[in-house]
Amino acid sequence: MAIAERPAQRGTAPQPGAGSGSDGAPLEFHVFKGIPGEEQGEVTYRVPPVTGMVVLDAIHWIQKHVDTDLACRWNCKAAKCGSCSAEINGMPRLMCKTRIDDLPDGPITVRPMTAFPLIKDLVTDVSHAYEVNRRIPQFTPAADEPSPFVIQEMDLERIYEFRKCIECFLCQDVCHVLRSHDLQEQFYGPRFFVRVASLEMHPKDTVDRLEAVRTEGGLGYCNITKCCTEVCPEHIHITDNAIIPLKERVADRHWDPLRAVSRLLLGKR
């Protein structure tokens, strides 16, 4: 690959061993490089360790001193913008939140998210996620709802958690329905179940999204393996607090004859 022929420019770089790595030795990174339709592969870089270093620091060091054209999306470096999602040692994580000293000894692999189309190196095209987002009806209060809203604390408690989402799409990346079975067209994915749940549980919202989330959203494809919850950097309980409550609401409507009789007799939805 042409990229491997470039000389490393290490004139101003911190020297290997200057930091407090376990033995001061350079860290070995295997970073994916390539663009669609051309040769792709992992390139090995040796990066000097620095105390408190995160993976994004190493990527920046590589960009500055070795490979200036290594593509990587990032913005805040504070685990709040959700831009630097990647797969570190095979596990979806934010590069800015993954400390080197939390990783096991040995080479560190950095690859782009698998569930999204590759653009270049570590950058993927997440536009499909925004298209899914546009399909979900937005918050719609009653036309005669007085403004500003007066809402009890207990009515909003559940949806505070959902508002922590930074849209890093790690949950979409790790979800096996999207990642392994490529059901992008039939399945919203965890991030958007969180969004639907936050709207469905809102005390002032009036739109019914349950039928859409069951049919075009493919809620039934989720088999509760909870990987989305495991990778969420905001520690949102995606499965327990968003997906399972949605599944239970769908069960109310489609799998519960007692509720059906109740609806018939009482005329409630």
Partner 1 sequence: MTVRGAEVAGSGKGASAGDAGVTTGVLARLRRDAPWWLLPVTVVVVLGGFIVYSIWASTTGVGEARNAPYLSPLYSPGWLANHIPVFPGLLCILVPIAFRGTCYYYRKAYHRSFLWDPPGCAVPELRHGGYRGETAFPLSLNNLHRFALYGAVVYIPILAFDAANAFSLGGHLYLGLGTAIMVLNVVLLAGYTLSCHSLRHLVGGSVDCFSCVRFGRQRYGAWRGVTRLNVFHPTWAWVSLFSVWAVDAYVRMLNAGWFTDPHLLFR
Give the contact letters, 165-204, x = binds to partner 1 (CB under 8 A), - = no.
--------xx-xx-xxxxxx---------------xxxx-
Q: Which stretch binds partner 1 (CB under 8 A): 49-57, 87-95, 131-139, 160-168?
A: 87-95
If the CB atoms of residues 66 and 165 are measured against partner 1, the closer one turns out to be 66
With binding defined as CB under 8 A, does residue 205 bind partner 1? Answer: yes
Residue 125 Cβ vs partner 1, minimum distance, rounded to whole Å: 9
* Maximum C-alpha span of the chain: 80
Residue 250 Cβ vs partner 1, minimum distance, rounded to whole Å: 8
Q: Which stretch binds partner 1 (CB under 8 A): 17-25, 71-79, 85-93, 160-168?
A: 85-93
Q: 3-class DSSP state for residue 17?
A: coil
SS3 string, 132-186, reads HHHHCCCCCECCCCCCCCCCCHHHHHHHHHHHHCCCCCHHHHHCHHHHCCCCCCC
With binding defined as CB under 8 A, does residue 234 bind partner 1? Answer: no
The reply to whether omega before 148 is within 30° of 0 (cis) is: yes
Residue 23 Cβ vs partner 1, minimum distance, rounded to whole Å: 19
Please return the burial class of 84, using the count of CB atoms within 10 Å of its CB with bins 0-12, 13-18 and 19+: buried
If the CB atoms of residues 132 and 201 are measured against partner 1, the closer one turns out to be 201
Let me know the angle formed at the C-alpha of 136 by 134 and 139, rounded to the nearest 5 degrees.
105
If the CB atoms of residues 101 and 240 are measured against partner 1, the closer one turns out to be 240
With binding defined as CB under 8 A, does residue 253 bind partner 1? Answer: no
| Rounded Cα gap, residues 113 and 124, in angstroms | 7
Q: Phi first, then psi: what are they for 93, rounded to 5°?
A: -150, 165
Residue 195 Cβ vs partner 1, minimum distance, rounded to whole Å: 16
Instruction: Say if strands 123-124 and 91-94 run parallel, antiparallel, or are unpaired.
Output: unpaired
Among the listed residues 67, 120, 190, 193, the single contact to partner 1 using CB under 8 A: 67
Beta-bridge partner residues of 86: 93
If the CB atoms of residues 45 and 74 are measured against partner 1, the closer one turns out to be 45
If the CB atoms of residues 97 and 176 are measured against partner 1, the closer one turns out to be 176
Q: 3-class DSSP state for residue 28?
A: strand
With binding defined as CB under 8 A, does residue 101 bind partner 1? Answer: no
With binding defined as CB under 8 A, does residue 232 bind partner 1? Answer: no
Among the listed residues 71, 79, 103, 212, the single contact to partner 1 using CB under 8 A: 103
b/e sequence 110-140, b meaning 16+ C-beta within 10 Å: bbbbebbebebbbbbebebbeebeeebeeee
Residues 40-59 that bind partner 1 (CB under 8 A): 40-46
Residues 127-146 that bind partner 1 (CB under 8 A): none
Residue 20 Cβ vs partner 1, minimum distance, rounded to whole Å: 22
